Amino acid sequence: MATELDAFDCKLLMEVQRDAQIPQSELGARVNLSTAAVNRRLRRLVDEGVIERYAAIVSPEKTGHPITVVANVEVESEQIDLLDAMKRTFARCPQVQQCYYVAGEWDFVLILAVRDMDEYTELTRQLFFSNNNVKRFKTLVSMSRVKVGLEVPLVSSGE
């Protein structure tokens, strides 16, 4: 499943993960490759699915969604169809940025971006209280977003 990535690929990925707007000529200069080679490699990485997509990262503060909340959820039953329904409900909710189905003390971990605590209260109603399969949930309110990103660690070592 893991594609072979050489040192050039890793360097390129590190750069474009941070900033996808660097021109390929500049990327070439940084990693010591011609623009054409950079172009081919990036295209290949997209084709192979290593680069899933390019996205604009939008500020939650500037768009009026300054509160990040982490919600842990325990379910009543782990029946497949019930779990699938919950996954779909969580995934469909725009305020849910991330949802992980986990093993351990909880079953789901959600990361939510909300306008204020009122909005979160309303969401707990929609997502948790009105769902019979939610046994309990616990809320952690973020006071500071110390680090936020989806960057994959590609530090050295071309695997």
Partner DNA sequence: TCTGAAAATGGACCTTT
Partner DNA sequence: AAAGGTCCATTTTCAGA
Residues that bind DNA (CB under 7 A): 8, 23-25, 32-37, 39-43
Contact by Cβ (8 Å): 143, 70 = no
Which of residues 31 and 134 has its CB atom nearest to DNA in the complex? 31
**Residue 25 CB, nearest approach to DNA (Å):** 6
Least separation in angstroms between residue 33's CB and a copy of itself is 17
CA dist., res. 134 & res. 74, Å (int): 6
Nearer to a copy of itself, 1 or 32 (CB): 1
Q: From the list 6, 48, 76, 78, which residue makes contact with a copy of itself (rule: CB under 8 A)?
A: 48
- 157 backbone φψ class: left, alpha, beta (φ>0; ψ -120 to 50): left
**Measured from the CB of residue 64, what is the shortest distance to a copy of itself in angstroms?**
4
49 backbone φψ class: left, alpha, beta (φ>0; ψ -120 to 50)? left
Secondary structure (3-state) at 68: strand
Of the candidates 27, 41, 68, 137, which one interacts with a copy of itself according to CB under 8 A?
68
